[in-house]
Amino acid sequence: MSSVQEARTAGRFAYVTLVTSDGYVDGALVLLHSLRRTLTGHNILCLATPSTLSPQSLLRLHEHFDGVIKTDLQLSDDHRGLSVLGRPDLRSTLTKIQLWDPALFGAWDALCYLDADTLVRQSIDDVFDRFYSWRESMADWNDGGLVAASPDTGWPDCFNSGVLVVAPGYQCHRQLIQRAATTGASFDGKIPCYFVRVCTSPMLSRAMSAGLQP
């Protein structure tokens, strides 16, 4: 049995979304429901920041998700860049760095991250198979330094962080934290530059776009 076939039968996978404010709770629950309608057998998790959420919101997340992973809020200081975009609310997207933290997600081999404002229309479970097929040929995956993503529409040399498939790893997480500490860092800005190889194959893009709706 090949390593890809083994991954299909024994891999530990999960879907994850991020909630950093009460305003994103409803969207996260709609996303959760859309994933459950596909009859996925994988865990559906929520990465949440208790310091910015009300007790009521945390309770709702705990009631519905398979697990709520708590973490500290990470804020970007790239005020100028986010102002140009007209999206100051994106400061908190730097918290996505925690997806690579094995202390939080070490129980899973790979994660499919989905923004709380996305909607799944059909099963996308096969993205995990595609990720493992690609990972087979890479030498640096053991540190978690891999990400499968689609190019951003505004900056095609960067990836869009709204939909990602990642593998947690200590070394990768540590280096991402160091990069995030630099002036002007933001997840969709400097962070993608860390990854030497970004999988943007048409096959993966079609698979994701077929099942997702922003």
Q: Looking at residue 136, which CATH number applies to its domain?
A: 3.90.550.10
The 10s digit of each residue's pLDDT in 95-115 is 888 999 999 999 998 999 999
* Whole-angstrom distance, CA of residue 10 vs CA of residue 214: 31
- Cβ–Cβ < 8 Å for 134, 183: no
Q: What is the pTM of this model?
A: 0.78
The 10s digit of each residue's pLDDT in 114-135 is 999 999 999 999 988 877 777 6
pLDDT higher than 90, residue 19: yes
Q: SS3 for 45? A: strand
Sole residue written with tokens 């997480």: 173
- Cβ–Cβ < 8 Å for 112, 43: no
Give the residue numbers spanning the domain of 153. Answer: 3-213
What stretch of H or E contains 112? strand 110-114
Percent of the chain surpassing pLDDT 70: 60
**Structure tokens belonging to residue 213:** 């709706």
CA-wise closest residue to 21 among 95, 112, 122: 95
Domains in the chain, number: 1
Sole residue written with tokens 């893009």: 205
